[in-house]
Amino acid sequence: MILAYHFAVHQFSTAHVIELGYAAAFCTTAAFVPQLMRVIRLHSAREISLPTFMLFSVGVFFWLIYGLAIWSMPVIVSNLITLGISVSILVLKLRYDRHAIEEIEP
């Protein structure tokens, strides 16, 4: 088992690891696009937790800073795009929640 692990780990070149980084970045970034599309289509973000998404956005911002510090393009690009998507969702949530409250109040 250890020999198989050793063989598998050493078969990856730097190029393979970078490609894996971009694949991971694409998947984790693209995962939020359907949520953004749903919020836009429904004009509602009621089901989104504001504290959770705010904490997530701060974490993504820190990942972006980290990526810039180590100059890792997969980390920089994916977190820059993810930050844009998450901030868009936050802005829409705040806007739509405010409109919903205004409609309820007399």
Q: What is the DSSP string of 11-25?
A: T--HHHHHHHHHHHH
What residue ranges do the domains of the chain occupy? 2-104
pLDDT digits (tens, 9 = 90+) for 68-90: 999 988 889 999 999 999 999 99
CATH class given for the domain over 2-104: mainly alpha
Q: Whole-angstrom Cα distance, residue 100 to residue 79?
A: 31
Q: What pTM does this model have?
A: 0.73
Mean pLDDT of 92-97: 90
